[in-house]
Amino acid sequence: MAVYTHVTAEEITEFLKNYNEGEIISLKGIAEGVENTNYILQTTKASYILTLYEKRVNPDDLPFFLGLMDHLVKKGCNTAAPVRDRDGIILKTLCGRPAALISFLNGLSVNRPMANHCYQLGREMAKMHKAASDFGLSRGNALSVAGWQDLVLQCEDRADEVAVGLKDLLHDEMDFLKSHWPSDLPTGVIHADLFPDNVFFMGDELSGLIDYYFACNDILAYDVAISMNAWCFEADGAFNITKASRMLRGYVKERPLSDAEMSAMSILCRGASFRFLLSRLYDWLNQVEGALVKVKDPSEYINKLKFHRAVKSPSEYGLGI
Amino acid sequence: MAVYTHVTAEEITEFLKNYNEGEIISLKGIAEGVENTNYILQTTKASYILTLYEKRVNPDDLPFFLGLMDHLVKKGCNTAAPVRDRDGIILKTLCGRPAALISFLNGLSVNRPMANHCYQLGREMAKMHKAASDFGLSRGNALSVAGWQDLVLQCEDRADEVAVGLKDLLHDEMDFLKSHWPSDLPTGVIHADLFPDNVFFMGDELSGLIDYYFACNDILAYDVAISMNAWCFEADGAFNITKASRMLRGYVKERPLSDAEMSAMSILCRGASFRFLLSRLYDWLNQVEGALVKVKDPSEYINKLKFHRAVKSPSEYGLGI
């Protein structure tokens, strides 16, 4: 949470001259976004998010991310929309950085998701998967099997600093996932980071999804697995089968899951928890002194991984309920 | 710049039930405010700043700060206004902290103030001084002569780490200010922190003043001296007499400065630069590792102090121009 790049009144005033979005009323840096600088911009016309992409984002990926958001909005998804300037351009430059003006999406993220929130997320995710099926660009998932292998190599020597036995667990799981990761499931564009932070609700109604900056092409059901990890465990570590069941029910209301996808749910959930375990472990072991971003505890995902390793049947995720 | 206290959707929804300010649309933590947690809150009715007062603010001072803002708005000043709940209460509790809902003030702070901005600030400051003259509460200035003496004692041993000779300068200036600080000038409520960050403009028109959390009772012309230090030096350290002259002209348009006040301008400016030199020096020498707030370089104020020490006549501040 940080403003890495300070935009002055003069710079934003000049920038806005390229748009038909009214006169500036206010610009305030917001304490959100781990990777980028974000401002709330208010003009005489509306509110917006102004995003400046910092160095952790590959500029070559921006046409994919912004193009995807634009595509989804046009297909009727509840997603913040990139705003075009007078020349129809979305991706601009501000303060020497790639930048984009994004429509402001009303709503708040929920701190403790309930089963109803999970149901709505499932539905919205499936709608998004279907809507993205004719999106013209693609982007590989750098955090899939090959990426996990790299992270294992970078973390293994110090893994036991976080939990005794973690190094062995990483190797064991990596070996399993490498040899069992499914290759025949339906793929498409996934959000890949649908944590509660990135899903807004107005009251109890889902108002939209934000932050597509991990979106990529991968197994569609893997997106469900990521969100089951993020939404369906309680604070005490217990898996809430009711929430998982509701999420799956919401999903299949819009896009049926095949028997093959359901049968693979356990390994997809293992992969999803392994992915977040590894990235959190890497960040934990490589903390930058004085960094503005709070590092998340990786051990939460050790527990989740262990849960999925013990799952014997897809019914344990509650689809039959 | 930080969000110290995280307010959940559930907590803000509950909090807003006490107000007649509509239903919540959005809540985003903003990267502003050194001492407090600030959110932009949008409801179906309007935008607001929600402030949670963190431990560096003395809760006993809050009735003064919030009461002053309320008083100034009622007298027609351009200032963000505290919002009353259904029971007429301004100072509330949220997440275990004192909290207040404040109206949203449109405008942006200027990065490089021009003479016109200085003129408008002078006028608005004088209006504020007049409007506060019948405010019922008072608050001493903890950062006046006695407070400076404390800071000198806390900083002197390590002052030369910042600049060789600084310890001697601190003692010399402290001695001078102690024996010459004026005691017969008009006093009243001053803002005491009218830096460009705290003054908003819409285009080139001043739209209002914010952040009254250093406001106190002190010499009125000392407020002018603080702002001359903050607004009238160029990035290269040169004093811009045109800007100072315009600030003074703006001020006297609303509230005349007596000969005694003008004659004291040099010592008031010395005191003002000494005060910010000392607080920045203290923060510089006592940096907290991993702190979210960037510490400001004290040496800028060494240079400003030296400028004012060399001033021979109040005309050097440009009132005669």
Question: In the predicted model, is pLDDT for residue A16 greater than 80?
Answer: yes
Is residue B130 within 8 A of residue B254, CB to CB? The reply is yes
Contacts of A88 (CB under 8 A, 6+ apart): none
Residue A320 has what pLDDT?
66
Q: What is the pLDDT of residue A3?
A: 81
pLDDT digits (tens, 9 = 90+) for B107-166: 999 989 999 999 999 999 999 999 999 999 999 999 999 999 999 999 999 999 999 999
- pLDDT at site B319: 76
pLDDT attached to residue B56: 81
Task: List Cα–Cα distances, B303 to B166, B269, B273, in angstroms.
Answer: 11, 12, 9
Beta-bridged to residue A30, according to DSSP, are A38, B30
pTM for the full predicted model: 0.90
Helix, strand counts (H, E) of chain A: 10, 9
pLDDT attached to residue B212: 95
- Model confidence band, residue A4 (pLDDT cutoffs 50, 70, 90): confident
pLDDT (tens digit per residue) in A76-94: 999 999 999 999 999 999 9
Q: Which of B2, B24, B30 has its CB closest to that of A108?
A: B24
Mean pLDDT calculated for residue range B19-26: 96
Q: Is the pLDDT of residue A1 over 60?
A: no
pLDDT tens, position by position, A229-242: 999 999 999 999 99
Q: B49-86 pLDDT, tens per residue?
A: 999 999 888 999 999 999 999 999 999 999 999 999 99
- Whether the per-residue pLDDT at B294 is higher than 70: the answer is no
For CA atoms B221, B227, B232, B237, give the dihedral sign: positive
**Quick check: A33 pLDDT over 70?**
no
Torsion A107-A110-A116-A117 (CA) sign = positive
Q: How confident is the model at residue B34 (pLDDT cuts 50, 70, 90)?
A: low
Q: Provide the greatest CA pair distance for chain A.
A: 61
Q: Give the SS3 label for residue A47.
A: strand
Is the Cβ–Cβ distance between A140 and A191 less than 8 Å?
no
Chosen for mutation from B50, B54, B108, B294 (greatest number of chain A CBs closer than 10 Å) is B108
Domain residue ranges in chain A: 9-103, 115-317
DSSP assignment string, B285-312: HTPPTT-SSPPPPTHHHHHHHHHHHT--
Asked if A105 and B23 touch (Cβ cutoff 8 Å), the reply is: no
Give the phi and the psi of residue A216 in degrees, each rounded to 5: -165, 175
Report the top-level CATH class of B9-103.
alpha beta
Confidence grade of residue A56 (pLDDT, cut at 50, 70, 90): confident
| CA Rg value for chain A | 20
- Token pair recorded at residue A21: 């979005």
Find the mean pLDDT for residues A155-170: 95
Cα-Cα-Cα-Cα torsion B213, B216, B219, B220, nearest 10 degrees, comes to 60
Q: What is the pLDDT of residue B290?
A: 57
The burial class, CB within 10 Å (0-12 / 13-18 / 19+), for B182 is middle
CATH architecture of the domain A115-317 equals: Alpha-Beta Complex (3.90)
What residues in B contact A10, CB-CB < 8 Å?
A: 110-112
Nearest to B268 by CA among B306, B228, B222, B314: B222
E-only strand ranges, chain A: 24-30, 37-43, 47-52, 92-94, 97-103, 187-190, 199-202, 205-209, 216-219
Question: Can you give the pLDDT at residue B297?
Answer: 86
- Predicted confidence at residue A300, as pLDDT, reads 95
Residue of B nearest to A288 (CA): B290
> Which tokens belong to A40?
């709330």
The percent of residues above 90 in pLDDT, for chain A, comes to 89
Pair A49, B145: CB distance under 8 Å: no
Q: Which residues of A touch B9 (CB under 8 A)?
A: 108-111, 201
Say how many CB pairs under 8 Å bridge A and B.
Answer: 88
The chain-wide mean pLDDT, for chain B, equals 94
Name the residue among B15, B70, B17, B23 with its Cα closest to residue B43.
Answer: B23
Nearest residue, CB atoms, A106 vs list B3, B25, B292: B25
Single-letter residue type at A215: A
Residue from A256, A234, A252 nearest A243 by CA: A234
How much is the pLDDT for B321?
Answer: 52
* Partner B contacted by A106 (CB < 8 A): yes
The pair of structure tokens assigned to B9 is 């959707």
pLDDT for residue A34 is more than 70: no
- Residue B72 CB partners (closer than 8 Å, separation 6+): B79, B128, B131, B132, B135
Q: Which residue of A has its CA nearest to B37?
A: A31
- For A90-109, what is the mean pLDDT? 96
pLDDT in the model for residue B258 = 95
Nearest to A215 by CA among A288, A138, A155: A138
Question: Are B29 and A31 in contact (CB < 8 Å)?
Answer: yes
Report the C-alpha gap between B12 and B23 in whole angstroms. Answer: 10
Q: What is the pLDDT of residue B57?
A: 86
Q: Tell me the shortest Cα–Cα distance from A252 to chain B, in angstroms.
A: 28
Residues in CB range of A167: below 8 A, 6 or more apart: A156, A157, A159, A160
| Residues B149, B271: Cα–Cα separation, whole Å | 12
Mutation for A interface: B28, B48, B114, most A CBs within 10 A: B28
pLDDT for position A305: 97
Percent of chain A clearing pLDDT 70 (strictly above): 97
Mean pLDDT of chain A: 94
B2 to A3: CB separation less than 8 angstroms, yes or no = no
pLDDT at site B35: 77
Is the Cβ of A2 closer than 8 Å to some Cβ of chain B? yes
